[in-house]
Structure 1
Amino acid sequence: MKIYTLHQKQKLPIDLDEAWEFLCNPSNLSKLTPSEMNMTIISGADRPMYAGQILQYNVTPLAGIKTKWVSEITQYEDKKYFVDVQLYGPYALWHHKHFIHEIEGGVEMEDIIDYKVPFGVLGQLVHPILVAPKLKSIFNYRTTQLEALFGKF
């Protein structure tokens, strides 16, 4: 089964402390998720992020298909990176690394998502026409939202 990777970087004109505080607050995830995904946090967002934290939310990844997504923050290093792994949800595998570091005039955020689609060969067939474009659009939305909140670099 094929593992796909989405790699994205974004620069923001804010300091590391402000960026880290926003990104590590699980309740802010809904601000960065398109409204049509109907993302609602069920549990786990009541405290700042830490390794071992379990987050549960409902999402609608495709029109009319509502599912629960459960993820664990498996690694966390303050003001450097964190990793979330899907324990239950729409992907056969989801491993998302979030890196952040200071650059002149702001911060650069980097996301590396390694994922597998469900449904074997059928999932692989729909990946380029459905899954990959949807995932890219979600991260494009996030880019736009972060720029609206913090400005363009």
Structure 2
Amino acid sequence: MPTIKHKQFIKAPVEVCFDLARNVDIHLETTAKTNEKVVDGVTGGLLEESDTVTWEATHFGIKQRLTAKVTDMKKPNEFVDIILKGAFSSFTHTHQFVKETGGTLMIDTFEYKSPFGILGVVADKLFLEKYMKRFIDTRAKKLKRIAKNNEWPIQPLGLVLEELTQNN
């Protein structure tokens, strides 16, 4: 079972990075290259624990659907989503956000199992693992750009509360 681990430093607060990564609208923006859209479940805003979403996208020239569920959430440091239905036999995607000086270290850990037994293992070695690494890396860089340019659509609740506390 391949495991992809990707780290991206972002000059933004943990709360911002956490909310960007679980925002359905931002997800669509960061995956535009695959023509991703939501076809069922949560269709916009922030994903919460136990939410499901079905994405439709084009990968390798084939339109595919994937239903994922958020199974665990520890705001604002971690959330986990798993596949319920789709092209993979299984996957677990753990999103972690670690506060560091000057920003946040975003860590994606993506563990998956391809379908089709030995043929799936061969596909992993030939192209799928490389494709998934590139997909995760591209999305992380787009999230970094959005955070850097203050392009997020909502202000995280933690920052709103912090500002209210400081102003009183």
TM-score, normalised with respect to structure 1 = 0.89
Q: Which structure: greater helix fraction?
A: 2
2:6 is aligned to 8
Q: Does 1:51 align with 2:49?
A: yes
2:88 is aligned to 91
* Structure 2: runs of 5 or more not aligned: 150-168
Contact 1:27-1:41 within 8 A present in 2 as well: no
Contact 1:4-1:115 within 8 A present in 2 as well: yes
Q: Which structure: greater strand fraction?
A: 1
In structure 1, distance between residues paired with 2:119 and 2:3: 18
2:122 is aligned to 125
Contact 1:26-1:49 within 8 A present in 2 as well: yes
Deviation at 1:34, TM superposition (A): 4.9
Work out which of the two has the higher radius of gyration on C-alpha atoms and give 1 or 2. 2
In structure 2, distance between residues paired with 1:48 and 1:39: 17
The worse-fitting range, judged by mean Cα deviation, of 15-24 and 110-119 is 15-24
1:65-84 alignment to 2 at 5 Å? Answer: 65-84=62-81
Contact 2:12-2:102 within 8 A present in 1 as well: yes
- Which residue identity lines up with residue 59 of structure 1 in the other structure? A
In structure 2, distance between residues paired with 1:31 and 1:111: 18
Deviation at 1:140, TM superposition (A): 2.2
1:60 is aligned to 58
- Which residue identity lines up with residue 6 of structure 1 in the other structure? I
* Structure 1: runs of 5 or more not aligned: none
- Which residue identity lines up with residue 139 of structure 1 in the other structure? I
Aligned length: 148
Percent pairwise identity: 21
The worse-fitting range, judged by mean Cα deviation, of 51-60 and 135-144 is 135-144
TM-score, normalised with respect to structure 2 = 0.81
